[in-house]
Structure formats: C-alpha cells, structure tokens
Structure 1
Amino acid sequence: MTRLAARALLAVVFWPSLFFFWFLGPFVFFLLSTTSSEVCPRLETRAEFLAADNGALPMLVLQNLLYAVPIICLLLWTRLLPDNTRTGRVVICIKLFAVAAVLGALWEYGSSLVCDGYGQPFFSPAWRMTSYLPIANLAVNLPLYVLVFSLGRAFSMREDETADDAIHHDENAL
C-alpha cells in the first residue's frame, strides 16, 4: 500500500469518527446513560445501588475507546509523515485527550451517584464539586477539538498540492 493510499484510508476513518464520536457521541451517550430521575426511587438497597453505579463503568470504557479513534489516526499519520512540529502538536492532543477522558469519566461516574442506595438524593460536598467538571471538561475539549481538526486537515491534504494550488485548480476547472 502506498503512503497516499494509507493516508486516504486514515482520512476515511478519521473524519467520520471525528464527526460521529466527538460531535454526536456525547448526545448518544447522554441518552444511553443510566442517570435519569427514575433511577433513584427504584434503588432500595445498597446492593442495587452499587450494581447500577458499577454498571456505568463498561459504558465509560467503551466511550473513551471510541473517542480515541481520531487520536489513533493522528498517531498513525505521524508515523507516515514524520514532522517535528506536527508530532509536538499530536503529543499535546494526547495529553489534552487524557485530561478530558479523566474529567469526563469522573463526571459521568459521579453523575451516576445520583442517590445513596436508599432512594435518597446524594448531595455530599464532593458531589457539588463534581458539578463543575463539565465546565472544566469543556475548557479542555475546545482547544482539543480545534487542534485535532486542524491536524486532521493538514494530514489529509496532499503535500504536492497546497491549498492555494487546489483553489486555483478548481477555478480553472470551472
């Protein structure tokens, strides 16, 4: 397989996964989450509470694995086209992704602690602090999205044809 074909294959995986997993994924996982208001009254015993709470763990692992697909594509692109500047940016993406994954997992697991196992709301001081995690996660995810999008665009463009040449080529074709 040629480098161009490998880059094209990575682009075919990268762009849909970026769109579906990073932009639409949070809505899907929110709809699938078990943190609805009907859960608390149904949890009568501590065992039921712990079973429901720990049932969220496989979904959190699956979610982070799916979210890692665009980062893996960036890593593979870096292997195909080594460039020190882009490699440094990919490392920044990996670090931001790790922080975002931890913050997201803490918030989602914490939000599954809606009640204390006896049907009573769980409003400890720790719970009140986790309510700010989505704001911190958003502050980490916005630069991550911009950086990953720009890197994906740079990696998926052909090097022998710059963006200006492509615009002029398209204008001449018309």
Structure 2
Amino acid sequence: MSTLAARALLAVVFWPSLFFFWFLGPFVFFLLSTTSSEVCPLLERREQFLASANGTLPMLVLQNLIYAVPIVCLVLWSRLLPEPARASRVVTCIKLFAVAAVLGALWEYGSSLVCDGYGRPFFSPAWQMTSYLPIANLAVNIPLYVLVFSLGRAFSMREDDPTVDAVHPDGNAS
C-alpha cells in the first residue's frame, strides 16, 4: 500500500471519528456511563452506590478507547510522515488526551457515586468536588480539539510533489 493510500485510509477513519466521537459522543456516553436518575433514589446503602458506580467502569473504559481513535490516527500519520515539529505536537496531543481522559473518567465516576446528591452522606466531600471537573476538562479539551483538528488537517492534506506528478515529454506520467 502506498503512503498516499495509507494517509487517505487514515483520513477516512480520523475525520468521522473526530466529529462523531469527540463532538457528539460525550452526550451519549455520559448518559450511558453514569447511574441513571431513576436508579439513584432507590439506592439506600453505601454498598449499593459503590456497586452502581463500579458498574459504570466498563463503559468508561470503552469510552476512552473509542475517544483514542483520532489520537491513534495521528500517531500512525506521524509514523508515515515523520517530521520533528509535528511529532512533538502529537506527543502534546497524547499528554492532553491522557489528562482529559482521567478528568472525564473521574467526573463520570464521581457523578455515578454521589448520584446527584443521593449518595453524598456515604462518601467523602472530595467526591462532591467532581462536579467541578467539567470546567477543568473543558480547559484541557479546547486546546486538545484545536491541536488535533489542525494536525489532522495537516496530515490529511495531500502535499503535492512536483517530481511525482510531473509529466514526461512523451506524455506518460512518471
């Protein structure tokens, strides 16, 4: 497979996953990965809250794996087209993504644990502080989105090489 074909294949995976998973996915995954509001009033003991919150962990892991698809595409692109400037920006994306994933998981797990106020008497006030994590997550995600979008655009754009696209005097492309 040629480098251009591999880049095109990565672009076909990158752009839909970026827009669907990163822009639309959080709404769906947040609803699926937290304890439902119908279940919360029925929970009465600390163990029930813990079991309910721990039940959301597989969805949190799946969510972060799916969110990693655009980052994996960037890493593969940087392996196809090694450039030190882009490689350092990809490393920055990986670091920002790791911070955003941890903040998002803590927020969603904490939301399930305290269950919008129903579980607060059972747990440390530190879990109540998870309600402020979306602000921190937004502060990390905005630069991450901008950086990933700009890198994706740079990697998926075809860089025309005049020597490859040159037409010989006999009319045949090289």
TM-score by length of 2: 0.85
For the residues of structure 1 that align with 2:39 and 2:30, how far apart are their CA atoms? 15
Residue identity (%): 84
Alignment check: 8 A CA contact 2:50 2:113 kept: no
For the residues of structure 2 that align with 1:132 and 1:126, how far apart are their CA atoms? 11
User: Residue in 2 aligned with 1:125?
Assistant: 125
Structure 1 segment 85-164 matched on structure 2, within 5 A? 85-115=85-115, 120-122=118-120, 124-160=124-160
Q: Deviations over 1:111-143 (max 9, x none)?
A: 11125xxx9441642133211110000000000
Which ranges in structure 1 are unaligned for 5 or more consecutive residues? Answer: 162-174
Task: Pick the structure with greater CA Rg.
Answer: 2
User: Residue in 1 aligned with 2:36?
Assistant: 36
With over 3 angstroms needed to count, the CA separation of the structure-2 counterparts of 1:16 and 1:140, relative to structure 1, is same
Q: Deviations over 1:62-121 (max 9, x none)?
A: 000000000000000000000000000000000000000011111111111125xxx944
Alignment check: 8 A CA contact 2:74 2:152 kept: yes
TM-score by length of 1: 0.85
- SS of match in other structure, 1:128: helix
Alignment check: 8 A CA contact 2:96 2:140 kept: yes
With over 3 angstroms needed to count, the CA separation of the structure-2 counterparts of 1:122 and 1:78, relative to structure 1, is same
Q: Write the letter of the residue equivalent to 1:133.
A: L
For the residues of structure 1 that align with 2:10 and 2:48, how far apart are their CA atoms? 44
Q: Deviations over 1:3-32 (max 9, x none)?
A: 000000000000000011100100111232
For the residues of structure 1 that align with 2:90 and 2:52, how far apart are their CA atoms? 37
Alignment check: 8 A CA contact 1:35 1:114 kept: no
Alignment check: 8 A CA contact 2:120 2:128 kept: no
For the residues of structure 2 that align with 1:79 and 1:159, how far apart are their CA atoms? 16
For the residues of structure 2 that align with 1:157 and 1:120, how far apart are their CA atoms? 51
With over 3 angstroms needed to count, the CA separation of the structure-2 counterparts of 1:99 and 1:120, relative to structure 1, is closer
CA-atom RMSD, angstroms? 1.9
Structure 1 segment 47-86 matched on structure 2, within 5 A? 47-86=47-86
The number of residue pairs the alignment matches comes to 159
